Amino acid sequence: MRSQISRRRSSWSVVTTTLTAQAVLADNLAIAAGDIIKIDAGAVADASANANLETRLTVALDATKPTITLGSVVATPVVQPIFTVPGMVTLTGTTTSVLSGYLGNPWRIVAVNSAVSLPTVEVNSTTKRITLTFNFATHDTADILWAVAQNPTAAALGTWAAVGAVTAKITATYDSGNTIAAGTTGTSTFKVTATASELIVAAPGTLTVRTGSTTNTCAGGTVSGFLAGLTTFDINCTVLSAAPVADLVIASLIDLSGNDSVGALVAF
């Protein structure tokens, strides 16, 4: 079935376009509120050769902003954070650990000099601190790796490895109690499946992810099914945050009447 679809008030037209709902919506970027879509009489016919009457549809005007709701969020680590205790060991986040990707960035390692006979490792998930307590003068890398192995929580944080020889001691310039941040920042990509309350006819421009006091920008968005006139779409972005993602501010989703979704929050 084929038809001529014309648009008043502009030069836009689609001639002999296959007449399906998806085909009409496939060019919806060119449709604006108040426009009239016309299907000429006799443009289509059924199997018995009965032709259609002329049909006109005025694109409705409305002032309601589209509501965006969250479907699912999938985070995939791209770069794992790496912490280095000077001269001794490194700790690298893994996919299954609490340090995976961007999640590891708020964590810190603290080495404390103490005249203890055996080194210990303590993990505090609330403060996101990993405390290594050992004698800087006598304990070496092998001792630290042994202490990690005695603590399943510490061992599960990621991959612990010697920087150099297992007999090496901590770098003399390190001051006891100083915090050690990730030398390599962890990053993750996020795929957010979202649903709009009505048809969206403009793809996302710049999406802003708010992560506590940190703001990250997602360049563009991948809109699945957008040209088919669907209301479900995916947004992809990379987060370099120091805190868990709090919400997503969608700034450039436009409905048929030109209303945008500025201020719509999608809680993670």
Q: Which amino acid is at 190?
A: F
Q: What is the pLDDT of residues 109-141, one digit of tens each?
A: 999 999 999 999 999 999 999 999 999 999 999
Helix (H) or strand (E) segment spanning residue 113: strand 108-113
Q: What is the pLDDT of residues 35-69, one digit of tens each?
A: 777 778 888 888 888 988 888 877 667 777 777 77
Q: How confident is the model at residue 242, as a pLDDT?
A: 44
Global confidence as pTM: 0.62
User: How far apart (Å, rounded) are the C-alpha atoms in residues 249 and 4?
Assistant: 39
User: How far apart (Å, rounded) are the C-alpha atoms in residues 82 and 94?
Assistant: 10
- Between 58 and 81, the more confident residue is 81
Task: Quote the percentage of the chain above a pLDDT of 70.
Answer: 59
Helix (H) or strand (E) segment spanning residue 5: strand 2-7
Asked whether 217 and 208 are in contact (CB, 8 A), the reply is yes
Q: How confident is the model at residue 66, as a pLDDT?
A: 74
- Give Cα separations from 117 to 137, 167, 171 (angstroms): 11, 17, 20
Mean pLDDT within 94-105 = 92
* Helix/strand/coil for 156: coil
User: How far apart (Å, rounded) are the C-alpha atoms in residues 222 and 74?
Assistant: 14
Checking DSSP bridges between strand 206-211 and strand 214-219, what pairing results, if any?
antiparallel
Q: Which amino acid is at 105?
A: N
Q: What is the pLDDT of residues 214-248, one digit of tens each?
A: 445 454 444 433 443 456 666 666 655 544 444 55
Checking DSSP bridges between strand 108-113 and strand 129-134, what pairing results, if any?
parallel
